[in-house]
Structure 1
Amino acid sequence: MPAVRVDDLVHLPRLPQPGLGDQARPVWKITTAPQGFEGEGFPVRRAFAGIDLAHLDPFIMMDQMGEVEYAPGEPKGTPWHPHRGFETVTYMIDGVFDHQDSLGGGGTITNGDTQWMTAGAGILHIESPPEWLVESGGLFHGIQLWVNLPRAAKLSAPAYQDIRSGEVALLTTYDAGALVRVIAGSVGGHPGPGSTHTPMALAHVTVEPGARMDLPWTADFNALVYVLSGAGTVGRDQRPIRSGQTAVLGSGEYLTATANRTQESRSPKLDLIVVGGRPIREPLAWAGPFVMNSKAEVIQAFEDFQHGRFGHIPG
């Protein structure tokens, strides 16, 4: 898993131990992601399927893309498609993805990079493997997270953040048992590079076999822990959790997870996506690529798209 690795964790800034009286968040629910296909046919796991939107707020959905080893000619992406009213966060763990949009933006992301796209008032974009990767084949693995925008920002100007792997804040736990990559928000007072409309935090955490992660977490944020690979326990109640499962956590001052001492050879460590934010608590109307506050706004988004108001596909 190439996404930012550190050989010796002892030299990284350390997160503090939980304080006296600090409570670990309990587990409310554990779900198992169903598998499906997206875009032109690349495999995904729907990480948040089966979780009430009220518990996800300010998030809409998250897909684990891959992990898949493509043969030559097999890599796939998405066709051109519209978005309005939210942000897409594409974090590439293994492989390469090209992005292009109707406003002339885009770029290439690879191992450990993140593309943060604020769709805002509306944009057309496409995500695809570069031509050389289609010819050669290769590993493809990442996540895409959809973050809702508050009403006041839904029609903001579209924007990009290109977050390179070298910009991510790297931390370890107090006993150097886990690597914490902070992509956005702040964890234990250490900010990541991503700028967000809605207060939130996003981290990729790798826990060594047998080690325990205690992660300080903002008290008024919700908390979701998704297992990319490996197995262990999560929460104050030490509930078993494995690859492809999501834990919805309750209130408390920190998150906790422990990696099993013995892991599968394909997944030698416990790899987690940890995400949470301050709920927006506004009405939600979601239809396909549009996330708005009312049905009328969604209908308007479809009409604007059909009339070319999101821009045009470059020639």
Structure 2
Amino acid sequence: MKNVKQVSAILNPPAPHMVGDGFRVHNFFPSGYKLNMSPFYMLDYNAKIEFSARNEPRGVSVHPHRGFETVTIAYHGAVAHHDSTGNSGIIYPGDVQWMTAASGILHKEYHEENFSKEGGLFQMVQLWVNLPAKDKMSKPKYQGIAQIDIPQFVLPENSGTIEVIAGNYNGTKGSVSTFTPIEMYNARLNKGSKADFNFPANFNTGFVIIEGSAKVNGAEIAKTDQFIHFRNEGESIELEALENSVILILSGDPIDEPIVSYGPFLMNKPEEIQQALVDYNEGKFGYLE
């Protein structure tokens, strides 16, 4: 293979911690590993866990965000969402929720009522996607995409499918609008099949093995719950599924701007963090019970 994007590291999930009482997550970055994955600022991975039945849904109560987008991808279980702009929805397995907090939003997320009452297997990914400075104070918006509406590229010879959440895979374009160039797919590969990916050399690229295991570029093997980080050189990547596998594909054009983060705020300057706190305390993020 020519012009191969080589693996930088294959990383095990860091020790888990709870977000609220409904999400048991492994933070691959920025806390778990010091990776440059801009425009992806944070990756929380809720590996498979069994939740017992409960009448009162587990989750995260009302909290603010400013300066970025949250992307939630469901694999098992179901999550309900409400925010201060009036948007709400339920994220079922295969669905994606893309929330642009931008200038400021309040939201809450918790186990969907029926799932909570029945209990069961739960597996999710949440990403924080940074916004460029010029867009950080834009109007909040919400993109909820059911799996059935995610464009799919069908691989030849019953190899599987590539669900294109954002970006463009072999002419199949994702339906999500993004502020900077981002490629985000769910690759659902059958055992023994191969899929090729091509991203610009400068794009920060990483894969999460959601299910199964895969050989990368004919050499290294990554297993369930591991994160594959790639070098910023070369463009082509080959995946071979060693069993039926689901792999989250992430690649994006870095945002070359300073970042100042504080809790749920992701801005460019310290004074912008201070202003976010003032605006939040003055109720400018809206109202949500």
* TM-score for the superposition, normalised by structure 2: 0.91
CA distance in 2, matches of 1:161, 1:136: 28
AA partner of residue 196 (structure 2): D
Q: 2:160 aligns with which of 178, 183, 196?
A: 178
Work out whether 1:31 is the aligned partner of 2:11: yes
Q: Bigger shift: 220-229 or 69-78?
A: 69-78
> What is residue 245 of structure 1 aligned with on the other side?
226
Task: Specify the SS of the correspondent of 1:193.
Answer: coil
Compute the displacement of 1:88 (Å): 0.3
- Does structure 2 conserve the Cα–Cα contact (< 8 Å) formed by 1:188 and 1:216? no
Tell whether 2:289 aligns with 1:309: no
Give the counterpart of 1:119 among 84, 89, 101: 101
Counterpart CA distance in 2 for 1:252 and 1:175 is 27
C-alpha distance in structure 2 between counterparts of 1:162 and 1:139, whole Å? 22
Deviations 1:1-37 (A, max 9, x none): xxxxxxxxxxxxxxxxxxxx75221011222221221
Residue 263 of structure 2 is matched in structure 1 by 288
The aligned residue for residue 139 of structure 1 is 121
- Asked if residue 60 in structure 1 is aligned to residue 51 in structure 2, the reply is no
Amino acid across the alignment from 2:265: F
SS in 1 for 2:256: coil
Task: Summarize deviations over 1:255-296 as a string: whole Å, max 9, x none.
Answer: 222222xx5xxxxx2221111111111001112111101122
Deviation at 1:219, TM superposition (A): 4.6
Match of 1:212 in 2: 194
Does structure 1 conserve the Cα–Cα contact (< 8 Å) formed by 2:47 and 2:225? no
Partners of 2:212 and 2:28 in 1: how far apart? Answer: 15
The answer to which structure has the higher strand fraction is 2
Instruction: Number of aligned residue pairs: give it.
Output: 285
Equivalent position amino acid for 2:263 in 1: G
Mapped to 2, the partners of 1:78 and 1:181 lie a distance apart of 28
Q: What does 1:1-315 align with in structure 2 at a 5 Å threshold?
A: 22-34=2-14, 35-48=16-29, 49-53=31-35, 55-73=36-54, 76-234=58-216, 236=217, 238-250=219-231, 251-260=233-242, 263=243, 269-314=244-289
- For 1:135 and 1:241, the matched residues in 2 are separated by 35
* 1:160-195 C-alpha deviation (Å, 9 max, x unpaired): 011121221111334442321111111122101111
Q: Which residue identity does 1:40 align to in structure 2? A: D
Deviations 1:211-238 (A, max 9, x none): 222123345422111111222322x362
C-alpha distance in structure 1 between counterparts of 2:201 and 2:172, whole Å: 16
Aligned-pair identity in percent equals 36
Query: Which residue does the alignment assign to 1:7?
Result: none
> 1:78: how far off?
0.8
Q: Is the 8 A contact 2:153 2:169 kept in 1?
A: no
Deviation at 1:311, TM superposition (A): 1.0
Letter in 2 for 1:311: G
What TM-score comes out, normalization by structure 1 length?
A: 0.84
Indicate conservation of the 8 Å contact 1:47/1:226, yes or no: no
Report the 3-state secondary structure (helix = DSSP H, G, I; strand = E; otherwise coil) of the residue aligned with 1:141: strand
Give unmatched runs, 5+ long, in structure 1: 1-20, 264-268
- Contact kept, 8 Å, 2:5 with 2:230, in 1: the verdict is yes
CA RMSD of aligned residues (A): 2.0
Tell me the alpha carbon deviations over residues 109-155 of structure 1, each in whole angstroms, 9 at most, x when there is no partner.
21211111000000000001232322222332221111000000000
- Once residues 281 and 298 of structure 1 are traced to their aligned partners in structure 2, the CA distance between those partners, rounded to angstroms, is 19
Q: What is the deviation of 1:97?
A: 1.2
Distance (whole Å) between structure 1 residues aligned to residue 191 and residue 269 of structure 2: 47
SS of residue paired to 1:301: helix
Structure 2 distance, partners of 1:201, 1:175, is 24
2: CA distance, partners of 1:138 / 1:297: 42
Structure 1 segments, 4+ long, off by >6 Å, are: none
Structure 2: runs of 5+ lacking an equivalent: none
Query: Contact 2:48/2:121 (CA < 8 Å) preserved in 1?
Result: yes
